[in-house]
Chains A and B, each alone.
Chain A
Amino acid sequence: QQQVKQSPQSLIVQKGGISIINCAYENTAFDYFPWYQQFPGKGPALLIAIRPDVSEKKEGRFTISFNKSAKQFSLHIMDSQPGDSATYFCAAAGTGNNRKLIWGLGTSLAVNP
């Protein structure tokens, strides 16, 4: 049973546009929500992460929006660039014995020049 649902599966955006990737989770015990970026031939790398005590976190062009009541969180990439073309994974984890990360299936983002 997949506990983190990620959409869309693939996304094409024009350079300068906004890329939006959404994730929904089921387990209310989750309290850590990271996004990872993976380029071809590389392992995933942490991009940005949020905890449920804030509704938004911004780092440069990347923003996580978090809606605790809806159990949803999303990644916004502003002014998308061709170099942002990668696969993005959302994940969720709890604390203590529930710290195992549960992953979304990934979104393949292509930013056209």
Chain B
Amino acid sequence: KAGVTQTPRYLIKTRGQQVTLSCSPISGHRSVSWYQQTPGQGLQFLFEYFSETQRNKGNFPGRFSGRQFSNSRSEMNVSTLELGDSALYLCASRGSGNTIYFGEGSWLTVV
């Protein structure tokens, strides 16, 4: 069974631009969540989607948004990028239990 797939793995953007990251969950998983990881800040929860509906949301500004499609694939978008948005963005999918499975992440560098 394929794991959580995230694309792209690495990207560099300029301040003010926007970026879209993609996540394909494990087959059969309907819940997808997104995290931002920076050194010293641990895993910061962005949002969770279940069956195309946002179920939980973290404390991030409105520049961070997401969506989920009918096939459970998810995208997150960050608009008007700031230097502080440079981070590893992790997607995780959850099946019927509480166990979540992470992808390898998308490394975003904002210059």
User: Which A positions have Cβ atoms within 8 angstroms of B?
Assistant: 32, 34, 36, 41-46, 49, 89, 93, 99-101, 103-106
Contacts and interface: CB of A to CB of B under 8 A. Distances in A.
A75 to B, nearest CB: 16
Contacts of A106: 42-43
B102 interface: yes
B42 A42 contact: no
Interface stretch (B12-20, B66-74, B76-84, B93-101): B93-101
Interface in B35-81: 40-43, 45, 48, 56
Contact of B56 (A34, A45, A100, A103): A100
Contact of A44 (B40, B41, B43, B56): B43
A42 B98 contact: no
B42 A45 contact: no
Given A49-B99, A105-B40, 13 more contacts: A32-B98, A36-B102, A42-B104, A43-B4, A43-B105, A44-B43, A44-B90, A46-B99, A93-B98, A103-B42, A103-B45, A104-B42, A106-B42
A34 B104 contact: no
Contacts of B40: 105
A15 to B, nearest CB: 26
Contacts of B41: 105
A9 to B, nearest CB: 9
